[in-house]
Structure 1
Amino acid sequence: MSKEETALLSTGKPADFSFRKMKTINVDKFLRDIGLEGARYTRVAGVPDRGIEKKKFLTRSIWLNNNRLTNTKNVDQFAQSVLEYPDELGWIDFSFNFITEIDECILKFKKLKILYFHGNCISDLDEVFKLRPLMELRSITFHGNPIANHPRYRNYIVAVLPQIANLDFTPIVRNEKLQPAPPEAIKKFKEIEKNKQGNQ
């Protein structure tokens, strides 16, 4: 990565593929029907710069909000197809889709700091648990999903994702960090520990 690319990567506008009526993340279909030229430029007054060699976007952000997605499957392949340096991906916006399931392919992006899932259809708290390995994750949203109606929702998210500093655009305060994990989280922790011991 050249110095110029590093600078552009740090300041790059998001690769905005919102409002594209995407039902699945199908790279072949995306490249055929939308392509990199289909990136929206009106919301952020432009599109990201392109890399010198592969001509893909120099950005750490992908916006897939306001589509018709039901899961996040193949987002890793999507990032490979649109980003010059997919390993640098730090922000994905999946808000306002119909997502019920978070595919573990998202864990390939070790530098993810921001994930937006607000306005989706996630009803299983276990989906949140899948994100635990993303140790650099700092901000996440789930409001507007069925899980947000759970009486111990915020307590659960904070317990399961201790690395985050912000939930639903609201900072997590020290007292929240000190609260004991809710029964649902404790049960999940025990299940995972039991599975680990069974595999040894």
Structure 2
Amino acid sequence: MTDPFTLFDQWYGEARQSEINDSNAMALATADARGRPSVRMVLLKGHGPDGFVFYTNFEGRKAEELLANPHAALMFHWKSMRRQIRIEGPVDTVDDAAADAYFATRSRDSQLGAWASDQSRPLPSRDVFMARYADALSRFEGGPVPRPPHWSGFRVAPDRIEFWQDREHRLHERRLFERDGDGWREGLLYP
């Protein structure tokens, strides 16, 4: 098989059936302008041959790092399946239409939370955040909640995808796909 997206779809489909919580959770690694790494969990909200998409507040740390250094690594880990997938590549932003369409699918409370949060900034108390949430609730009462201008999505366009399958006695199987022009080159890695 020389199409990593077909294999991703197979593994992801199996994970959606077997993982109890957040089968779409992935670790996102970024680095700041000085090369200091940072990692956190985000949720996959779209994927295909053009990349892997997640959404966030563009005023938070992850977005600031990605806008300054548009490269990232992702990792899915499905413990019950004893599998992981690592993805590396350049990052770009999704267009406004895609961000608007996804934002419209979020629960109203999540939409309001996007207006209330200064993501990653110091918060004096939980009461301050809840007051801001109440203000957003009042502001948009009775109508739709538009996407905040500081909220959108990123797409990681993979140039490297590794599929790792746990095996007994640490004799794991590692399949590596690397971008090769318009296609992919496939190989194996020692465990």
Q: Does TM, normalized by the shorter one, top 0.5?
A: no
Richer in strand (by share):
2
| Structure possessing the higher relative contact order (Cα contacts under 8 Å, 6 or more residues apart) | 2
TM-score of the aligned structures, taking structure 2 as reference length: 0.24
Richer in helix (by share):
1
TM-score of the aligned structures, taking structure 1 as reference length: 0.23
